[in-house]
Amino acid sequence: MDLIFKAFDGKPLVDLNGSPYLVNTLADHVPATPPEFLHQVTRELVGLADFSRCDKIVGEEDRGGYVAAITAYLVDRAVSLVRWSPLGLPGEASFPFRSAYAEGHMYLNGIDAGDRVIVVEDFIDTGGTIIALIGLLREIGAEIVDVLAVAEKLDRKPRERILRETGVSPKVLVKLILEKGTSKVVERCPPGGADRKA
């Protein structure tokens, strides 16, 4: 867990469209994402949920998609990634979304009614992407077994928003706040879901 902690604690923020943005190795590959970090992130995510209860893993293709794919590989499950542009393929589902930095529609193939799904995300900022992803999966008729994320920015209370709007409470590995131009990890969540102060 030490590499995950170090990746998110004490990092400088940049201004992105008027909002503080945490540049990090997980989502932005600054610095380039090392294999030992990927190993730790995906192994810790595997410990957060019972993957025997799901058929498929869903993530989003931009930024955190590779984390969802590696996690799916580790637990021997199929993976399907949400896209931000349509392909027009048969069975393509669409749903509107709005996140902290973008808005539009998300598109998904490969998930069917009755599929049991675990969502794997990289970072929770406002909760908008996860809320839309849950809406999309429910519209398809999939069962959401769990929602996992590597990190959560607590400043905007995204987990409370997700729970309020969907009834789902994501599990995360690290929780952080942004203060005085830097990030600070305030909780680390080991496998099993028992949060502990950083």
Mean pLDDT of 159-166: 96
Please determine, for residue 197, whether its predicted confidence score (pLDDT) is greater than 60: no
Please determine, for residue 170, whether its predicted confidence score (pLDDT) is greater than 60: yes
Hey, what domains does the chain have and what are their CATH numbers? Answer: 2-197 (3.40.50.2020)
Distance CA 197, CA 121 (A): 22
Burial class (CB in 10 A: 0-12, 13-18, 19+), 45: buried
136 to 83, 108, 114, 144, 152: CA distances (angstroms): 12, 8, 13, 11, 21
- Give the pLDDT of residue 63: 84
Please determine, for residue 192, whether its predicted confidence score (pLDDT) is greater than 50: no
Distance CA 133, CA 184 (A): 27
Please determine, for residue 195, whether its predicted confidence score (pLDDT) is greater than 50: no
13 to 4, 8, 19, 181, 182: CA distances (angstroms): 17, 11, 9, 5, 5
Give SS3 for 70: helix
- Give the pLDDT of residue 98: 79
Could you read off the pLDDT of 93-114 as tens digits, one per residue? 999 987 767 789 999 999 999 9
Residue 21: pLDDT band (50, 70, 90) is confident
The neighbour count for residue 170, using CB atoms within 10 Å, is 21
Residue 18: pLDDT band (50, 70, 90) is confident
Torsion region of 127: left, alpha or beta (phi above 0 gives left; psi -120 to 50 gives alpha): left
Mean pLDDT of 176-188: 93
What global pTM score does this model have? Answer: 0.93
Question: In whole numbers, what is the pLDDT of the chain averaged over residues?
Answer: 92
Cα of 85 vs its chain's centroid, Å: 19
Distance CA 126, CA 97 (A): 12
- Give the pLDDT of residue 190: 61
Sequence-distant (6+) residues with CB within 8 A of 33 are 25, 26
**120, 49 Cβ separation under 8 angstroms:** no
Higher pLDDT residue, 51 or 62?
A: 51
Could you read off the pLDDT of 52-74 as tens digits, one per residue? 999 999 999 988 899 999 999 99
Mean pLDDT of 113-120: 98
